[in-house]
Amino acid sequence: MKKYSLVLFFCLIFLSAHLSAQNVTVNNNLTFGTVFPGIPKTISKTTAGLAAEFYVSGTAGNEVTIDFALPTYMNLGASNMQLIFRETDCAIDTSATPDQSSPEFNNLDPWHTLTYRIGSNGLYIWLGGIIVPGLTQTEGSYSSNIVITVTYTGN
Partner 1 sequence: MNSEHKMPSIWKILVLLLTMSFLMVASVSAQDVAVGQATATVQTPLTVTAIAALAFGTIFQGVPVSVAETDASAGIFTMTGQAGSGISLFLQLPEYMSTASGDDRMIISFSTTDCAIDTTANADPTTFGSGWTAQNPFNLPSGVIIGTASTQTSLFLGGQVLPSVDQTAGAYSADIILTVAYNGT
Q: How far apart are CA 131 and CA 85, in angstroms?
A: 9
Check binding of 123 to partner 1 (CB under 8 A).
no
Check binding of 116 to partner 1 (CB under 8 A).
no
**Distances from the Cα of 114 to the Cαs of 35, 133, 135, 150, in angstroms?**
31, 30, 36, 9
Nearer to partner 1, 97 or 155 (CB): 155
Q: How far apart are CA 13 and CA 15, in angstroms?
A: 5
Considering only the stretches 86-94, 97-105, 112-120, 132-140, report the one whose residues sit in contact with partner 1 under the rule CB under 8 A.
Answer: 132-140
Check binding of 7 to partner 1 (CB under 8 A).
yes
Considering only the stretches 38-46, 89-97, 102-110, 112-120, report the one whose residues sit in contact with partner 1 under the rule CB under 8 A.
Answer: 38-46
**Distances from the Cα of 139 to the Cαs of 30, 37, 60, 94, 149, in angstroms?**
19, 8, 46, 39, 32
Q: How far is C-alpha 71 from the geometric centre of its chain's CA atoms? A: 14
Handedness of CA 12, 17, 21, 27 (dihedral sign): positive
Considering only the stretches 7-15, 90-98, 107-115, 116-124, report the one whose residues sit in contact with partner 1 under the rule CB under 8 A.
Answer: 7-15
Check binding of 108 to partner 1 (CB under 8 A).
no
Check binding of 77 to partner 1 (CB under 8 A).
no
Q: How far apart are CA 23 and CA 20, in angstroms?
A: 9
The residues of the shown chain that bind partner 1, judged by CB under 8 A, are 1, 4, 7-8, 11-12, 14-15, 18-19, 21-26, 28-39, 41, 52, 54, 56, 71, 74, 76, 81, 83, 127, 129, 131, 133, 135-152, 154
